[in-house]
Copies of this chain bind each other. A is one copy, B any other.
Amino acid sequence: MEAHTYERSVGAHTDASSAAEPRWLDPREREVWLALRHLLWGLTPAVDRQLLRDSSLSGPEYSVLATLSEDPEGVMRSGTAARLLGWGRSRLSHLLRRMEAKGLISRACSADDGRGQDITLTPAGKAAIVEAAPGHVGFVRSIVFDPLTEEQQEALREACERITAAIEAEDGCAAAFDADGEPCDGE
């Protein structure tokens, strides 16, 4: 799908248009990109659906509870959780408000730093994740690990790490150039 827009130029920008003409994707590369995009669009929703179906816990909620349950006491600073999850503070704040309303977590001002919020796993929150975890892990195993050999799993990990590193490099670079035009590395 989307042959023109990845393999060939669309319409009439063959020479005159904006940025320097990039190397379009050849058919093999296009297959790789489509397979990856299919995964990107399919996996997270599938995991979220399983959680919601079997435990009435949303994907993001599960992630928060799982992160929180890493602490032996089930207590964590909001910012720490945000960093562990790799999320923005705002996103977490909105979600925590809803979760507090549902009784899954509670919030209290931190004693040592007046700005901070201590997030605490409530008994209900603990019960929810204890109930959800087996089904979730089983699902992840059946979707991600059972279909792949150990070598394929390692190859996948390697590819993910390289791509993630490239994203972070690009992000840092974009931040450095701020609102400039061209990308920073050589194409």
Interface size on A, residues (CB 8 A): 86
Give the Cβ gap from A73 to chain B, nearest Cβ, in Å.
12
Give the Cβ gap from A110 to chain B, nearest Cβ, in Å.
21
Q: How many copies does the complex hold?
A: 2
A9-B130, A22-B138, A35-B157 known; 5 other A-B pairs, CB under 8 Å?
Answer: A9-B134, A17-B130, A25-B141, A32-B156, A41-B44
Contacts of A176 in B (CB 8 A): none
Q: Which residues does A use to contact B, with CB under 8 Å? A: 1-6, 9-13, 17-25, 29, 31-33, 35-36, 38-44, 46, 53, 63, 65-67, 69-70, 84-86, 126, 129-131, 133-148, 152-167, 170-171, 174, 183, 185, 187
- Interface class of chain A by DSSP: helix
